[in-house]
Amino acid sequence: MHVLNTELNLAAPDDFYAALLDMHRDLNETQSALVNAKLLLLLANHIGDDAVLRAAMAAARMDVAPQPDIKPC
């Protein structure tokens, strides 16, 4: 079973970060949210490993406290 790699794994971190922001150019907030979600689903499918994905979800959620006022759709 694989574990989530949280060591630096990007050859060019600054380039990646810029490309990520570039991906959102000319998009409004709703569109950006959609594109982020699509990106996440594509990457999740690429990774495939359930344990890695769940570890990533837990890591992403860390330090983010639950909020009571969840907006309905």
Partner 1 sequence: MKTYTNPVYEYRRPPELDGTVRHRGVVIVGAGPVGLAAAIDLAQRGMPVLVLDDDDTVSVGSRAICYAKRTLEILDRLGCGEPVAQKGVSWNVGKVFHGDCLAYQFDLLPEPGHHRPAFVNLQQYYFEEYLVQRAQTLDAAEIRWKHRVVDVSRDEQGVTLRVATPDGDYALSCDWLIVCDGARSPVRRLLGLDTEGQVFRDRFLIADIHMTSDFPTERWFWFDPPFHRNQSVLLHRQADDVWRVDFQLGWDADPEEEKKPANILPRLHAMLGADAVFEIEWASVYTFQCRRMQKFHHGRVVFAGDAAHLVSPFGARGANSGVQDVDNLVWKLDLVVRGLAPESLLDTYDEERIAAADENILHSTRATDFITPKSVVSRTFRDAALSLARHHGFARKLVNSGRLSVPTVLLDSRLNTPTPDHVTFSGAMVPGAPAADAPVFGPRGGWLLDHLGGTFNLLVFGDAVPAAAARILAQDPIACSTIQVGGVAQDGRNVIQDRDGRLATRYDAQPNTCYLLRPDQHVCARWREFDPVAVRGAVARATGHTADTSIAGNAERTAPCMY
- Contact set with partner 1 (CB under 8 A): 30, 33-34, 37-38, 40-42, 45, 70-73
Shortest CA distance to 20 belongs to which of 44, 39, 45, 48?
A: 39
- Residue 12 or 66: the one with the smaller Cβ distance to partner 1 is 66
Least distance to partner 1 from the beta carbon of 38, Å? 4
Distance (Å) of CA 22 to CA 8, 41, 54:
21, 19, 28
C-alpha atoms less than 13 angstroms from C-alpha of 44 in its C-beta half-sphere? 13
Question: Cβ 52 to partner 1, closest distance in Å?
Answer: 16
Residue (6 or 30) nearer to partner 1, CB = 30
